[in-house]
Amino acid sequence: MTVLLTLRPARPGDGRTPPPVARGPAARDDTAAPDGATAPDGSVAPDSTVALHYAAAPDDSAALDACDAGATGVLGRTGPAWHARTAADPDRAHLVLDDGRALAGYLVLAAPRGPERGVELHRLVIAPPWRGAGVGRALLRAVLDLTAVPDRTGSRPAGSSTGARPATGNGAPPAPAPDVVVDPAWTTPGWLPAGRLWLEVDPGNGPALALYRSAGLVVEARLPTVPGDPDSATRRLVLSRG
């Protein structure tokens, strides 16, 4: 059985705590029970399911802040006030990934603005216990579906296909990739299905670049450290699809 994560609106402000490492599918040990059962220590078996919910509710504040702990990227840390403002902004969709007991991560999408017709993936963060478990790939597939980005043939949303993660370096079979479902109670904003997704990323963030490129995003522009000087070091990369 696959890990199922629910995407729902965020509710910043309540003080829910992040899951202990043992609850994430990446934190596996010999006590894990088979067939999605719960082990004696309360950990979730590797074949459980997790769900993705829209993030913006008063009980998510502490868990959101914990997700940011140790996260890298061009935007730095955020904080409870930032999450609260973002969740209340009609031009942003602040979504959390919920496994039914704790948050596995969150994302923020921003509406098209100015001449840019695409939706910006402003932030995508996975909670520490879930990193390396395929959650980022599953969440990005959900984002491509939500924003109606066509696949590489133009025939259907890119995120509609699923698949297991590559085999591990030691030859072990890949763990089941998580499935992400969107909370049916969430009313998606009208600007969301724009057919194009873009983002900025630190050129030194290798794992993030690998994730985005695996989903078909390509480098569209390089932002120099010194504005107007294309020969200066690259400060950020702009990737896009659609």
CA distance 4 to 46: 11
| Mean pLDDT for the chain overall | 74
Q: What is the pLDDT of residue 160?
A: 41
Mean pLDDT on 167-182: 62
Closest CA to 131 of 178, 82, 197: 178
CB 104 within 8 A of CB 8: no
CA distance 126 to 186: 21
Name the 3-class secondary structure at 38. strand
Mean pLDDT on 226-241: 87
E-strand ranges in the chain read: 4-9, 51-53, 92-98, 103-110, 119-126, 179-182, 197-201, 218-224, 234-241
pTM: 0.72
Mean pLDDT on 156-177: 45
Residue found under tokens 């490492």? 21
**Position with higher pLDDT, 20 vs 53:** 53
- State the pLDDT confidence band at 31, using cuts at 50, 70 and 90: very low
Task: Calculate what percentage of the chain has a pLDDT beyond 90.
Answer: 34
Main-chain phi, psi angles of 103, to 5 degrees: -95, 130
Q: What is the pLDDT of residue 76?
A: 60
Residue 61 in this model has a pLDDT that exceeds 70: yes
Q: What is the pLDDT of residue 19?
A: 39
Residue 27 in this model has a pLDDT that exceeds 80: no
CA distance 94 to 85: 10
Residue 57 in this model has a pLDDT that exceeds 60: no
Render pLDDT for 116-148 as a digit per residue (tens, 0 to 9): 999 999 999 998 888 888 899 999 999 999 999
CA distances for 174 relative to 126, 177, 241, angstroms: 19, 8, 27
Render pLDDT for 190-219 as a digit per residue (tens, 0 to 9): 999 999 999 999 898 899 999 999 999 999
Q: What is the pLDDT of residue 9?
A: 87
- Kindly give the residue spans of alpha helices, DSSP state H, lying in 21-110: 61-68, 80-88
Name the residue ranges covered by the structural domains of the chain. 4-188
Residue 41 in this model has a pLDDT that exceeds 90: no
Render pLDDT for 78-98 as a digit per residue (tens, 0 to 9): 788 888 888 999 999 999 998
Task: Calculate what percentage of the chain has a pLDDT beyond 70.
Answer: 65
Render pLDDT for 142-151 as a digit per residue (tens, 0 to 9): 999 999 999 8
Written as six digits, the tokens of 26 are 């990446």
Written as six digits, the tokens of 114 are 């100015």
Residue 157 in this model has a pLDDT that exceeds 90: no
Q: What is the pLDDT of residue 151?
A: 82
